[in-house]
């Protein structure tokens, strides 16, 4: 099993750390696990704005969602949408 990460995963992980309330965790493969408040609500909002399955709530992991690392263009859209949604949730719109 390889624990190497892709440059795109590293870039997205780093950018996610800049969003208040988002705590990405070291993850294996092409997924990033993120600790958040209200994971089901956040996943529902992100999946509505982008497409179903973009963000998932993993079973057996409380307070977290997971996202798949995709192409740079898709990751940028996810990052921007996640930032907007979390700002709205915090009342900063």
Query: Splitting the chain (93 residues) into consecutive groups of 10 residues, what average pLDDT does each group show?
Result: 74 97 93 96 97 95 96 97 90 65
Quick one: CA torsion of 39, 68, 33, 92, rounded to 10 degrees?
-50
Number of domains in the chain: 1
Question: At residue 73, what are phi and psi to the nearest 5 degrees?
Answer: -60, -45
Residue 92 lies in a domain: no
Residue 2 lies in a domain: no
Q: What is the pLDDT of residue 41?
A: 96
Q: Which residues form the domain of 61?
A: 7-87
Q: What is the pLDDT of residue 1?
A: 42
pTM of the model: 0.87
Residue 13 lies in a domain: yes
Residue 82 lies in a domain: yes
For the domain that residue 39 is a member of, what is the CATH number? Answer: 3.90.1150.10
């Amino acid at each position: 099993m390889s624990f190497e990460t892709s440059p795109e995963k590293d870039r997205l992980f780093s950018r996610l750390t800049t969003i208040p309330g988002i705590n990405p965790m070291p993850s294996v493969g092409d997924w990033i696990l993120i600790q958040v408040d209200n994971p089901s609500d956040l996943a529902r909002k992100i999946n509505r704005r982008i497409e179903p399955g973009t963000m998932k709530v993993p079973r057996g992991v409380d307070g977290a969602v997971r996202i798949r690392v995709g192409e740079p263009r898709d990751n940028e859209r996810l990052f921007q949408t996640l930032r907007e949604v979390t700002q709205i949730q915090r009342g900063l719109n």
